[in-house]
Amino acid sequence: MLNDDNPHQRKRLFISLFFCMIDNMKLNQLNFDHQFAALGEQYFSFVSPSQCEQPHIVSVNPSACNLIGLDISELDHPEFAHYFSGNSPLPGAKPLAMLYCGHQFGHLVSQLGDGRAMMLGQVRNQNEELFDIQLKGAGPTPYSRNADGRAVLRSSIREYLCSEAMHHLGIPTTRALCLIGCSDEIYREQIETGAIVTRLAQSHIRFGSFEVFFYREQFDLLPALADQVIAHSFPTLINEPNKYELWLQHIIQLTAKLIAKWQAVGFCHGVMNTDNMSAIGLTMDYGPFGFLDAFDPKHICNHSDHQGRYAYNQQPEIGSWNLTCLAQAILPLLHEEAEQAVDIAQNALKDYWPAFNTEYQRLFRAKLGLITKQETDGKLVQDFLSFLHSGQLDYTYSFRQLGNYQTNGQQKPNYLNTPSLNKWFERYQQRLVSENSQDDQRKIRMDKANPKYILRNHLCESAIKKAQQNDFTEVNTLLKLLTNPYDEQPEFDDYGQLPPEWARDISVSCSS
């Protein structure tokens, strides 16, 4: 019987009814369509997941289930944890590890590949959309480089939650279907338990997928790979005579806008190697990521990044550098004459910075609640960021609080009511008055542009500590919270407050 006083029960019933209405499929009925495997084993190696001990469900994401047409009732299937840990073969799956190389911290590594990831196959949903299903942490592959191919619970929780957090922030990303824990002991800096994340994406093909064949001078393998990317993600280009040039132009635009979105929400990727850059413009491979707390433009979220190559303020430049690597890798596709191919690539790359700057300025005008575009907007934004930096003020909290500013009464939010900001507020007030901005409407606009809830490191850390004691409630609480990051959620108000002092000591590295 439904308990009307139990909101969680009501929500689960609603979700169940919704998914039933759209006629989703059972686990043994998923519509596998192995188009990537059809390219041939030059692009991958078939693999078999390793058995893990006592697989169990940590969390399942209903909205991601719908992406592949999976019936929500299948969460109760007795084999669910076994299927998505790799212990039992999912009917129709053909696991493989993808081949690629990449520039890691600026240096070419001639062969990488999925060292701890396995694509079970591609599933076509009710809308004829194709999604990769990939297990991360299911054991070694030919590309593991003598590693165990496993992932620990700690890093898996971070990836599972962040991919969903980014999606609901409106940022293109891979998705997370479920998180499965196991009792295997895995050694990183210490002994930890293992886990497997099931990732979904319309493609896991990366810049490095093209680089590997370019540097091997296997140019004949480039067209089929590019054609698959175009056919699935840019289908209007497939019959164009210059389709590869048009695809390059598209991915330059998409990557520029993607990184502008990262900057706007204060997201730091941590490992922007070319093998971690998506050929369709997604955020992928969440390792030592982080969201800014106290604003520092030189913030380095990855403890392993000793030179600060992937610091927050370096991300736009690295995006441009990585795209240059991609453009070089596909030169044989752009023109049969090398000089003309280089000219095409260089002309396309010129569009990166205008695309980035246009999107960056648009996003930050929205964060300030501005309606019109003026030449002084850039300085207004940068001066505000400078004040945040000098005052060690929290990035997300400051922008959210700025929405409470009252133009008429010049009422400043308490958190931002500092003498150093007085002159800036005078300019801000004049700017708002000049476009006849109404406080109540501006507040609504700004709340839609400035999240209240982000996946801060200390929130992850609290969920991880509980999960390591077999208490997964906080993981699922965060999953629910981060589904609506821009909304006021009174029951979760504490999660939107400033981070505690101990959060400053949290450090993440490439093993995180």
Catalytic positions: 275
The secondary element (H helix, E strand) that includes residue 256 is: helix 243-265
Handedness of CA 461, 466, 467, 472 (dihedral sign): negative
Residues 6 or more apart from 385 whose CB is under 8 A from it? Answer: 295, 297
- How far is the C-alpha of 59 from the C-alpha of 251, rounded, in Å? 33
Are 302 and 105 in contact by the 8 Å Cβ rule? The answer is no
- How far is the C-alpha of 299 from the C-alpha of 293, rounded, in Å? 10
Across 156-302, the runs of DSSP E, i.e. the strands, are: 175-187, 191-201, 267-268, 290-291
Start-end of H helices in 299-419: 315-329, 331-334, 338-349, 352-367, 377-390, 395-402
Are 175 and 125 in contact by the 8 Å Cβ rule? The answer is no
The secondary element (H helix, E strand) that includes residue 17 is: helix 7-21
DSSP 50: P
- How far is the C-alpha of 94 from the C-alpha of 140, rounded, in Å? 16
- How far is the C-alpha of 253 from the C-alpha of 307, rounded, in Å? 28
